[in-house]
Amino acid sequence: MSAAEIARDAGAFPSQVTYYFGSKEALFVEAACRGAPHAAAQAERAGASKRSPRSYVRAVVHTALDSPALLSFVEAALLVRGRQELAPRVRETFERLHTEAERAIAENLAARGWEIHAAPAAEARGFWAAILGVAL
């Protein structure tokens, strides 16, 4: 799809796409990076009502893997390998995913009295590495 087609479908002028984003690839990366945290929040909500660690993890994993937004984020991460000027936005999103997952893990452990063997930060990074690796 061309930048002109994207702009038309969005009700904008093609020059707005290039003015605000520089290219359709940069627009895609921005959209994917905005969608990933929403998908993560949806996964967190899916686990909120679960009563055991096993059912919690299962709900969070299945919801994350079913998210088209996370698949777009994986595609954006692959795209920036060849477009280093777009990489900072993807790195920021990875950090946000890790930070939010660490917070969610710590809150769930405290609220439910659950225990894990690793630190919440390590669990968060491991979770996203596994999820994005499976999606890839």
| Sign of the dihedral through C-alpha 105, 57, 130, 78 | negative
67-82: pLDDT as tens digits: 999 999 999 999 999 9
pLDDT digits (tens, 9 = 90+) for 27-70: 999 999 999 999 999 999 999 999 999 999 999 999 999 999 99
**CATH architecture of the region 24-135:** Orthogonal Bundle (1.10)
Closest Cα to residue 27, out of 100, 98, 97, 79?
Answer: 79
The C-alpha atoms of residue 30 and residue 24 are separated, in whole angstroms, by: 10
Determine whether 52 is exposed, middle or buried from the number of CB atoms within 10 Å of its CB (0-12, 13-18, 19+): exposed
Q: Does residue 3 carry a pLDDT above 90?
A: no
Is a pLDDT exceeding 90 seen at residue 16? no
Instruction: Specify the pTM.
Output: 0.86
Rg of the chain, C-alpha, whole Å: 17
